[in-house]
Structure 1
Amino acid sequence: MSTPDVLTLRIGSRFLIVTLFPNLVFALLIGALMFAGAPSHRPDWHRLEQRLQDLSVVGVVLLGVSVLAFSVALHPLNYTLVQLMEGYWRGLPFGDQLQRSAEARGNLYRRELRRRGANGADVAALLYWLPPGNNPVRPTMLGNVLFAGEVRAGSRYGYWTEVVWPRLMPLLSDQIRSQLGDARNQLDAAARLASVGLLGVLTTTLLLIQYDVWLLVAVGCYLFAWTSYRSAVAAARRFSQGLAVAFDLHHLALWDALSLDRPADLDVEYETRAELLTRLFRDEHDLEPDERATFKYLPPPPPCPPCP
């Protein structure tokens, strides 16, 4: 299979898993409740069965096309949705205040864990998935896991992950890239299902507020959203671990791809070379002439001898 075919397959499978399936679940839930009579009548299974029997093929096709068109329109917003679930709320109404307040509580929580010490396994595990050093604690568990994983992946070698990662990603082996893609799809799909569950809580509450026991549907939507969010956090941990593995196995390949001499050892890489390379990627004007002079291009390899 050619590279374009593989890329098309991945984009298609990501769209189906991350966007179309959650939207279809939501449409089927709300459609079933409305077919059963909500909100004007108490939902009734016999009414739902009758409405389904009366539904024409044209109606099914129109419903499917509507869900598909809606999913295509929303697909580019998946990244924004995950960022909101990570706690990047600035720009929203009252978002700045909420984010600062949540970060302040998170920083107090981290200081308390550090005061208790990292000797216990439970405390150490909690601290591991919080941002290291003086990086601010994010408002949500998902945000903390992703940010901690991103920072640690490159910082162990002295790199700033967010700057270096776009250059390193094309150098990954197919196996590592596939594992990272699968983990990211699982993360985004679980996050999308969590958002669908929360939207389902609001929508089903409005539809069923008059019908006592039927409000258990809203409770079920909440439990579904909570479970999906926990799954997103678990997938974020797998993605973070995969990101660390990618740096472990391929960080030196970056120097080879740039035709630059590798760092002599891990200490040199961590203390000087990785930081200089990161600063070069971020802004070439950030380096002094003597710092730029430390990068030595390697001569091209000699041509292979002709085959006999």
Structure 2
Amino acid sequence: MLAVHFAPSALFVAYAWALGRAGAFSGRARWHDALPGSLVSAVATLLAISACAALLGLLLHPFQVRAVRVLEGYWDRWGPTSRLAEVLAEHQRRRWAVLFDATTREAKDAADPSGKSLREQIREQDAVSRLERDRHLAVRRLSALPPGNVLLPTALGNALRAGELRAGERYGLATLASWPRILPQVSGRLAAALSSARDSLDTAVNLCHAFLGCFLLGVVALYDEPGRWWLLAVFAVAAALAYKGAVTAAQAYTGLMYVVYDLHRFDLAKALGHKLPDAEDEWGLFRRISDGLR
């Protein structure tokens, strides 16, 4: 609660309080008025901001999944954003196609060195090496994305969707249907790692929302003070960094989803009352389980 909800809420509440105390919403801000005049006033201000931040965090807690989905790019249900979602999704599909094309390029052997100088031979060898490195990099990046036909508009959405569509499917299990059932079977240390990765993701998402909220408040309050616009740039950069952190945390969380199915898929089968299959029957069993869960 402290990291995921209270800290982002306190950041937003403190900034809104400072803007209000400085009179930024009704004219040019008087920033010296935002500072407490005494120790008692400072303590009272700190307690008030903490109480409001705690209340805001508790009110927003049930909407955490929606907060993540907003940054994932599930915007097609909203008329004003559906067109933007399609434009960004098309951009993601073009990037995916570029990576896919890069994975199909095979590094060719250097041409016959006879009759060429040593410098030319070295240049050709370097070109072959660079092509091979680029191909391996494209393979790694492509493996962290979902199939091209189900790409979402944002990097965060695609990082999470890759796990949602592949973690269990490798064994015949539908990930979205089986995840709530396999999660209680997870061992203690892996459960702690999953919880930590999820908290990191949620914290980064909430910080991104808080910085975006501060940015919008600043636009409303400081539009007539060009000398303070640098503050808007700070919040915009901070929001971008928080979003990048959310993508990184999502990739770590997705990696742990793969580990859960690697280690605990048979625990799921046992918990659902099925006999453990042999290697030949494993795929068929998990397909039947997935059909039943759907």
For 1:263 and 1:135, the matched residues in 2 are separated by 33
Deviation for aligned residue 1:51: 4.7
Matches within 5 A, 1:116-195: 116-117=102-103, 120-132=135-147, 135-195=149-209
Between the two structures, name the one with larger relative contact order (CA 8 Å, sep ≥ 6).
Answer: 2
Matches within 5 A, 1:215-294: 215-265=229-279, 268-270=281-283, 272-282=284-294
Moved more, 184-193 or 38-47: 38-47
Structure 1 vs Structure 2: percent identity of aligned residues? Answer: 29
Deviation for aligned residue 1:253: 1.3
Aligned length: 265
| Structure 1: unaligned runs, 5 residues or longer | 1-14, 283-308
Letter of the 2:181 counterpart = R
Deviation for aligned residue 1:207: 1.2
Q: 2:216 aligns with which of 202, 205, 209?
A: 202
Q: Paired residue for 2:110?
A: none
Moved more, 143-152 or 121-130: 121-130
Letter of the 2:137 counterpart = D
For 1:75 and 1:107, the matched residues in 2 are separated by 33
Matched-pair contact (CA < 8 Å) for 2:36–2:42: no
Matches within 5 A, 1:51-62: 51=37, 55=41, 60-62=46-48
Deviations 1:244-267 (A, max 9, x none): 1111111111222233222211x5
Matched-pair contact (CA < 8 Å) for 1:87–1:139: yes
Q: TM-score, normalised by structure 2?
A: 0.82
Letter of the 2:145 counterpart = L
For 2:84 and 2:34, the matched residues in 1 are separated by 42
1:89 aligns with 2:75: yes
For 1:179 and 1:54, the matched residues in 2 are separated by 42
Q: 1:34 aligns with which of 9, 17, 20?
A: 20
SS of 1:117's partner is helix
Matched-pair contact (CA < 8 Å) for 1:103–1:136: no
Deviations 1:38-62 (A, max 9, x none): 2445445533335566737555544
Moved more, 151-160 or 90-99: 90-99
For 1:50 and 1:281, the matched residues in 2 are separated by 58
SS of 1:94's partner is helix
SS of 1:253's partner is helix
Moved more, 40-49 or 91-100: 40-49
Deviations 1:174-224 (A, max 9, x none): 111111011001101101101111111111122112222211111000011
Deviations 1:149-182 (A, max 9, x none): 2222111112110111111111110111111011
Q: TM-score, normalised by structure 1?
A: 0.78
For 1:236 and 1:142, the matched residues in 2 are separated by 7
Letter of the 1:97 counterpart = R
Change beyond 3 A, Cα 1:51–1:216: farther
For 1:51 and 1:90, the matched residues in 2 are separated by 49
Q: Paired residue for 1:298?
A: none
For 2:89 and 2:275, the matched residues in 1 are separated by 41
Moved more, 37-46 or 76-85: 37-46
Matched-pair contact (CA < 8 Å) for 1:35–1:51: no
For 2:219 and 2:82, the matched residues in 1 are separated by 29
For 1:49 and 1:34, the matched residues in 2 are separated by 12
For 1:63 and 1:45, the matched residues in 2 are separated by 18
Change beyond 3 A, Cα 1:59–1:111: closer
Q: Paired residue for 1:112?
A: 98
